[in-house]
Amino acid sequence: MLKDRKNRLLLVLSIVTAIAITFYMFFQIDFDILFYQLPSRGRRIIAMVIVGVAIAVSTVIFQTIVKNRILTPSIMGLDSVYVFIQTSIVFIAGVSSPFLLNSHFNYFLSLGLLTLFTLFVFKYLFKLTKSNVFILLLIGIILGTFFGNLSTFMQQLISPDDFLVLQNTLFASFNVVNEDLMLLTAVILVIMLIIVLRDFHSLDVLALGRDGAINLGVNYDKKVSQLLVIVAILVSVSTALVGPIMFLGLLVVNIAHELFKTYKHIYLIVGTSLISIIALVIGQMIVQFVFQNSVEISVIINLVGGVYFIYLMLRRGRE
């Protein structure tokens, strides 16, 4: 019965995802420029699927390792590092730098630095703090504040014209996504998904904790190290492709837990991915059709996710 219920939930989420995508593709379509609008919206949908799945899978894996539903990779300061990287490029080399203007250069630079930072935070600090959730959260807030303050300091020193150019890179947007980079990100995502899904049962075991996993024959340290590398790559490629969306992972994973109420990661991974795609498509529709592209999608997602984060913290405090 429980299995049937979860399968029905997945089916409903799949139908809702298909309806949301179809509605976005054809709402307010102008038949005079149909051959321009459909490919443009199609590229955005593909980008949203890639980013939504990458953030969903990475957050599910990360929360399984830390055994906490509040911590996410983005809350650990990754978004602030991305802003710091983009601001440093403008501050040091100016807006004419190829590392800012050339999307390929910017993508690979951001991807490399974000991956190195993520691996440092996750692997080194995990050992240093012995996976203490509250210390990790505190360190994440400190790192985020540190890089955020450095970015603000540099932004105060650059010219107003340079700052306006910089602003376009600091918020997640699906309006302009490089097709070559989108294809590369999709390939990386598929490779990471194959690695995860080939041994997704180990995630169910890791959820039992270090002692439980070792008693059941899992090489805990090796498996966690492998998964942290996957998390680092997934978060980094999604951020480098479209920019940071801080609270998306927190929002969709917790909704999936409330809906499925299971420890089985095959349901959590698929369900969270579908919810993530739905959230991004709805957010893009609000940005495009309600606000007429006057705000970015990250503002909408972070507003809803931030309120939900406060709710989770208050609920955790009462418990």
Contact residues for 92 (Cβ-Cβ < 8 A; gap 6+): none
pLDDT of res. 300: 86
81 contact partners, CB below 8 Å, separation of at least 6: 113, 114, 117, 143, 147
- Mean per-residue pLDDT for 90-98? 84
Inform me whether the pLDDT recorded for 317 exceeds 70: no
Question: What's CA 291's distance to the chain center, in Å?
Answer: 23
pTM exceeds cut of 0.75: yes
Mean pLDDT calculated for residue range 79-90: 86
Q: Which domain holds residue 257?
A: 2-318
pLDDT score recorded for residue 144: 80
Whether 276 shows a pLDDT value over 90: the answer reads yes
Print burial letters for 133-172: b (CB count within 10 Å at least 16), e (below 16).
Answer: eeebbebbeebbeebbebbeebbeebeeebbebbeebbbb
- Residue 1 in this model has a pLDDT that exceeds 60: no
Query: What pLDDT was estimated at residue 68?
Result: 78
Q: What is the pLDDT of residues 229-269, one digit of tens each?
A: 888 888 888 888 888 887 888 889 999 988 888 888 889 99
* Spatial CB neighbours of 313, under 8 Å, sequence gap ≥ 6: 70
pLDDT score for 191: 93
Question: Would you put residue 209 in left (φ > 0), alpha (ψ -120 to 50) or beta?
Answer: left
Whether the per-residue pLDDT at 316 is higher than 70: the answer is no
pLDDT, averaged across the chain? 84
pLDDT of 133: 59
Number of structural domains in the chain: 1
Q: Which two tokens stand for residue 311?
A: 């709710």
What's the mean pLDDT in 219-234? 83
The more confidently predicted of residues 47 and 226 is 47
Residue 190 is predicted with a pLDDT of 94
Mean pLDDT of 302-310: 83
How would residue 16 be classed by pLDDT, with cut points 50, 70 and 90? very high
Report the candidate in 240, 268, 255 with the shortest Cα–Cα distance to residue 305.
Answer: 255
CATH number of the domain residue 143 falls in: 1.10.3470.10
Q: What is the mean pLDDT of residues 279-308?
A: 86
